[in-house]
Amino acid sequence: MSNNEAKFLLTAYRPNGRDAGDPAMAEALAQARNDPTLGEWFSREQAYDSVVAARLREIAAPAGLRESIVAGARASARPAELHRAGWLRPAWVAVAAAAVVLLSVAGWWRWSPVDGGTLNEFAVNFVSRGFILEKRSADVRVLQAWLAERHGPLPSALPAEFAHLRALGCRQLEFQGHEISLVCFERDGKEFHVFVAQRSDFPGLEPHLKAEFGETAKFASAAWSDASNYYVLVSDAGLDVVKRIL
C-alpha cells in the first residue's frame, strides 16, 4: 500500500477512534504508525477533523426534531401531505442548511490549494481564504509545545509587542514541500497571523534582518528573519499598526 492509498483510507477515519478495530483500516493505520511522514500527516488530519466535529456539535437542533423526521418518513409515501407532516419547518431547514454549508466549507478548507510563488504571497492568500486552527490556547507556551511535538518550526523570539496580544491558537501547513507553522494572535478585534518557516528549508529566500512591509486591499504584511527562521506577519489591523508592533 502506498502512502497516497493509505491517506485515501485514513481521511475516512473518525477522530473519536471508533474505527480503530475496522479491518479495512488496519493496514493504513499500521503504515501510519511505521512511517513518520504519514504519521505526522495523520495526526494533523485527526486534529483538523476534531475541530470540524466540534463545530458541527455547536449547531443546536430545534425542539421536536426527532418527531419531525419520523413524521416526514411516515408521509414519504404521500407527497401531497409532505408539507403538513412538518419536516419542512423553517427551523429544521435552517439546521440542515447550516450543516451542509459547514461541511462544504470544511471540505474546501481541507482540499483547496493555496497559491503563492513566495512565502509572503502564500501567507496573505492563506489568510484571505479563511482557515481553522488545529490547536487553540491563550498560552503561547502551550502552542509552542504542540508545534514542537509535531516538529513544526518554532518562533525563536517574537517582537516584544507580541506580549500585549492575546494568543488564539496555531496550526501546521505545508509550503513548497516543507512544514511551516502558523501562530495566531488578536487585539481589539483585529487578528495577527504569524507564519514561521525554517531558513534551512528555504535557502533561496533572501534574509530580512529588518522587516519588509506590504499591503493589499484587506491585509498588511511584514516579513523578517532571524538566525533560524523566516517570519511573515499578516494582519487586518492596517499597515501602521503592523509597523508599530514590529
CATH of the domain at 177: 3.30.200.100
| Whether residues 99 and 124 fall in one domain | no
Span 33-37, average pLDDT: 86
Distance of alpha carbon 62 from alpha carbon 204, whole angstroms: 55
State the alpha helices, DSSP H only, in the chain: 3-10, 23-34, 36-57, 65-74, 82-85, 90-111, 119-129, 140-149, 239-245
| Helix, strand, coil share (%) of the chain residues, nearest 5 | 50, 20, 35
Span 89-100, average pLDDT: 56
Predicted local confidence at residue 78, as pLDDT? 57
Domain end marker among 77, 93, 111: 111
| Whether residues 178 and 229 fall in one domain | yes
pLDDT digits 0-9 by tens, 155-164: 888 889 998 9
Q: If pLDDT is split at 50, 70 and 90, which confidence band does 62 have?
A: low
| Whether residues 179 and 78 fall in one domain | no
Q: Which residues pair with 181 in a beta bridge?
A: 172, 196
Which residue, chain included where needed, has cell 497571523? 193
User: What stretch of H or E contains 133?
Assistant: none
* CA-closest candidate to residue 159, choices 214, 201, 211: 211
| Whether residues 175 and 238 fall in one domain | yes
Greater model confidence, 193 or 108? 193
Q: Which residues pair with 166 in a beta bridge?
A: 186
Predicted local confidence at residue 89, as pLDDT? 57
Amino acid residing at 127: V
Phi, psi for 167 (deg, rounded to 5): -70, 140
Largest CA distance in the chain: 73
Predicted local confidence at residue 233, as pLDDT? 97
Distance of alpha carbon 91 from alpha carbon 43, whole angstroms: 36
Let me know the angle formed at the C-alpha of 202 by 198 and 206, rounded to the nearest 5 degrees: 100
| Whether residues 222 and 130 fall in one domain | yes
Span 85-102, average pLDDT: 54
| Whether residues 130 and 188 fall in one domain | yes
| Whether residues 70 and 92 fall in one domain | yes
**CB-CB contact of 87 with 68 (8 Å):** yes
> With 90 as the cut, is the pLDDT of residue 236 above it?
yes
Domain end marker among 111, 140, 174: 111
| pTM for this entry | 0.60
- Domain interval for residue 85: 65-111
Distance of alpha carbon 119 from alpha carbon 198, whole angstroms: 12
| Whether residues 99 and 183 fall in one domain | no
Least confident interval from 1-15, 172-186, 204-218: 1-15
Distance of alpha carbon 157 from alpha carbon 225, whole angstroms: 10
| Whether residues 157 and 238 fall in one domain | yes
Phi, psi for 210 (deg, rounded to 5): -110, 145
Q: Tell me the pLDDT of the chain averaged across its residues.
A: 81
Distance of alpha carbon 170 from alpha carbon 191, whole angstroms: 13
pLDDT digits 0-9 by tens, 167-204: 999 999 999 999 999 999 999 999 999 999 999 999 88
Amino acid residing at 82: L
pLDDT digits 0-9 by tens, 113-172: 676 789 999 999 999 988 888 899 999 999 999 999 989 999 888 889 998 999 999 999
| Whether residues 51 and 76 fall in one domain | no
| Whether residues 166 and 216 fall in one domain | yes
Q: In total, how many domains does the chain have?
A: 3
Lateral strand order in the sheet of 212-215 = 135-136, 166-175, 178-187, 190-198, 229-235, 220-225, 212-215
| Whether residues 78 and 45 fall in one domain | no
Domain end marker among 75, 95, 111: 111
Q: How far is CA 132 from the centre of its chain?
A: 3
